[in-house]
Amino acid sequence: MSAQHHSGGTALSGKIVWVTGAGSGVGEAAALLMARAGASVVLTGRRIEPLESVAARIISEGGTAMVAAGDVTDKTTASTVVAQIVARFSRLDILVNNAGMNIKNRKLAELTPDTVNEMVAGNLTGAYYNVLAALNVMRQQKDGVLIHTASWAGKYISQISGSTYSTAKAAVIAMSETINVEEFRNGIRSSVLCPNEIATPMLDKRPVKVTDEERARMLQMEDMGNLIVYIASQPPHVCINEVVISPTWNRFYEKMI
């Protein structure tokens, strides 16, 4: 039984979706909402327990979910997961390339070569591995959608996010558009999302504590999940190249006044 029988959603009926960073935050919201829209969802992340929890929620609502745990910064993970997806579903329609990370000691004076490598791997290199593996399947299908979570920080530099996070997310924006440049002839569309502050568990890594009142004014995880479903539901002739999205109460604007 698929999710559309439970919720009435059919926008993604029959689609096979791979979500990375699916155990929490934007990835969790996207996985749940895409399943409710009728997709079969494959969940990847480093910790298996949160993935199994998300999968159980999807299945309890009548949807289809498969857990494929792994660290996307390991260069073997993406190809292994995609092989599992093809073995079970015979295709891959949508990649939600969402896994990312940040660290507390993010100022240049606090960085070390190891933390730089960790940040680039966690926000850029792993995303590239996922793209390469997904494209191998999508090219054969002459169809596919890739949706990458970048950041407002990849477009507008501030000290809040830290230099390595901003730099890696700027590169994700460039990566997404190069996919469109090279793969549009294969019917493949790539979208990059550049959200400002989202109320996710990643806020706990901020050097300055974020209050509950501040979180309530931010973008919510469901806002991003609904946006991802919308992009994934577009007809094959539509490519939404880039979305810049922020909360109405934008603290970056507040500082300009």
Catalytic residues: 165
Phi and psi at residue 42, to the nearest 5°: -105, 130
Instruction: Output the six-digit token pair for 77.
Output: 């993970």
Phi and psi at residue 85, to the nearest 5°: -65, -45
Map tokens 């959608």 to a residue: 145
d(CA 65, CA 13): 14
Instruction: Output the six-digit token pair for 103.
Output: 């660290």
Map tokens 């995880």 to a residue: 221
How many residues are listed for the chain in this entry? 257
Instruction: Output the six-digit token pair for 2.
Output: 């698929």
Instruction: Output the six-digit token pair for 121.
Output: 């791997």
157 CB-near residues (< 8 Å, 6+ apart): 166
Candidates 191, 188, 161, 187; CA nearest to 176 is 191
Candidates 78, 67, 71, 68; CA nearest to 134 is 78
| Residue 145 near residue 231 (C-beta atoms within 8 A) | yes
Map tokens 């079970």 to a residue: 88
Phi and psi at residue 235, to the nearest 5°: -65, 160
Instruction: Output the six-digit token pair for 164.
Output: 């390595």
